[in-house]
Amino acid sequence: MNTLLEVELSKFKTHIIEYFSLKNILFKLGYASVKDKINSLKEEGVLISLKKGLYIHNSPINNTIVSKEIVSNILLGPSYISLDYALYFHDLIPESVHEVTCITTKRNKSFDTKYGTFSYKHIKKELFAIGVIFEETKVGSFIIASKEKALCDKIYFTSNATINSKDMMLEFIEDDLRIDIEDLKDFDLKIVSEFYTISKSKKIKIFLNLIKEL
């Protein structure tokens, strides 16, 4: 592969390159047909397609690991990581989670890629920004739910469990999710309260009352 092209592509520390940036690089280096060159790079394994117009650069120079978390934010935006993946990220649940579970203001969607499965659940805009945080990495940052927001999202979106009392909520948290109830004692009540105020969810109200008792 052209050394100059490899150097230009390796400037993207995340390995993630959008079509517009890729097109500009190829034009600058004098490639007449951007489409043909992109297809050639894909066939060579230099570029791996995530979706139309979004690629991962498989670089022999840039050896940083591709961040699935950063990929998830870019693959479909606006979005943030939440639900099972975020609960595991915050050490609330014991089992490792391989599918990156996300929340978006757009429609439900799922992507199966070489780097794993990324799933997105729709939430109304008013609930989207509550309790989300930025996590920094060596190659960039990503948006993820705080532990409070992640658990609120999980309770809010769980429709296959009947939760209409404090005892049922405890059973769901401890038995179904396998979360240690002691880990909830330092939860930020403001986040849970704001989520309830906007969502009016009966399950979130039960959860809020449980947290207050802790």
pLDDT of the chain along its 214 residues, tens only? 678 999 999 999 999 999 999 999 999 999 989 999 999 999 999 999 999 999 999 988 888 899 999 999 999 999 999 999 999 999 999 999 999 999 999 999 999 999 999 999 999 999 999 999 999 999 999 999 999 999 999 999 999 888 999 999 999 999 999 999 999 999 999 999 999 999 999 999 999 999 999 8
| Paired tokens of 121 | 């659940």
Distance in angstroms (rounded) separating the CA atoms of residues 17 and 30: 19
Q: Could you report the per-residue pLDDT of 163-182, keeping only the tens digit for each?
A: 999 999 999 999 999 999 99
Q: What does 98-150 look like in DSSP terms, one character per residue? A: -SEEEEESS--EEEEETTEEEEEEE--HHHHTTTEEEEE-SS-EEEEE-HHHH
Full-model pTM: 0.94
pLDDT at 160: 87
pLDDT at 61: 82
Distance in angstroms (rounded) separating the CA atoms of residues 156 and 145: 14
Q: What is the DSSP letter of 207?
A: H
pLDDT at 50: 96
For tokens 């991962």, name the residue. Answer: 56
The burial of 58, by beta-carbon neighbours within 10 Å (0-12 exposed, 13-18 middle, 19 or more buried), is given as: middle
pLDDT at 175: 96
pLDDT at 1: 60
Tally Cβ neighbours within 10 Å of residue 125.
8
Asked if 151 and 83 touch (Cβ cutoff 8 Å), the reply is no
Helices first, then strands: H and E counts in the chain: 10, 9
Q: Is the dihedral of CA 122, 124, 125, 128 positive or negative?
A: negative
